[in-house]
Amino acid sequence: MPLSVGDRIPSTKIKVASEKGGGEETTTQALFAGKKVVLFGLPGAFTPTCSAKHLPGFIDHADALREKGADLIACVSVNDAFVMGAWGRDAKAFGKVVLLADGNGELARALGLEVDLAAALMGVRCQRFLAIFDDGVCTSVNVEQPGKFEVSSAEVALTLL
């Protein structure tokens, strides 16, 4: 069942990508505890819409999101920490957006937001979504229709905070 308002963030292992490469393992429960978190998920680092629109919007609006109460702005994708780190360096995301590597797709699956993109030779990935959590509890969630980018942007997040 997909993530809904009122659900707690599932406790899964995740890696926080490092600017230097690799990442530090933590749990979603530890990362989200006591914070207002804007979490957006996307199918893959370095993919067209993700790289041209989704991540850049959150980088550009990071200060405004923090002014409206976001303690943490996080991007999750079913990629390893090395790829997420390289993408973060390329996009100049570090210091603005925390990049979460869901290498095994555990978080995407636990959120009910995994999508099978095997037909495009991409395997199982994460659906494009935006969710806001307050101390680990989902207060808002928007999931994009396949191939769309309408309800998960930074601009939408600003209206939801």
Question: For 71-129, how does the pLDDT look when each residue is reduced to its tens digit (9 = 90+)?
Answer: 999 999 999 999 999 999 999 999 999 999 999 999 999 999 998 877 877 768 899 99
Which of 50, 75, 126, 138 is catalytic? The answer is 50
Structure token digits, residue 155: 């601009």
- The stretch 54-60 carries a mean pLDDT of 97
Q: What is the pLDDT of residue 118?
A: 78
Q: What are residue 37's DSSP bridge partners?
A: 72, 133
**Element (H or E) spanning 39, and its range?**
strand 36-42
pLDDT at residue 109 in the model: 96
| Pairing mode, strands 137-143 and 114-116 | unpaired
How far is residue 96 from each of residues 7, 59, 75, 125, measured CA to CA in Å?
26, 6, 11, 24
Question: What's the token pair of residue 51?
Answer: 């790289």
Task: Let me know if 75 is a catalytic residue.
Answer: no
pLDDT of residue 124: 84
Contact between residue 126 and residue 102 where contact means Cβ atoms under 8 Å apart: yes
Kindly report the pTM of this predicted structure: 0.95
At a CB cut-off of 8 Å and minimum separation 6, what does 90 contact? 46
Backbone angles phi, psi at 118, to 5 degrees: -60, -35
Alpha-carbon distances, residue 43 vs 1, 12, 49, 135 (angstroms)? 19, 18, 9, 25
- Residues 138-155 pLDDT 10s: 999 999 998 899 999 999
pLDDT number for residue 26? 97
Q: Which domains does the chain have, with CATH numbers?
A: 13-160 (3.40.30.10)
Place of tokens 């919007």: 57
Spatial distance between the Cα atoms of 137 and 44, rounded to a whole number of angstroms: 25
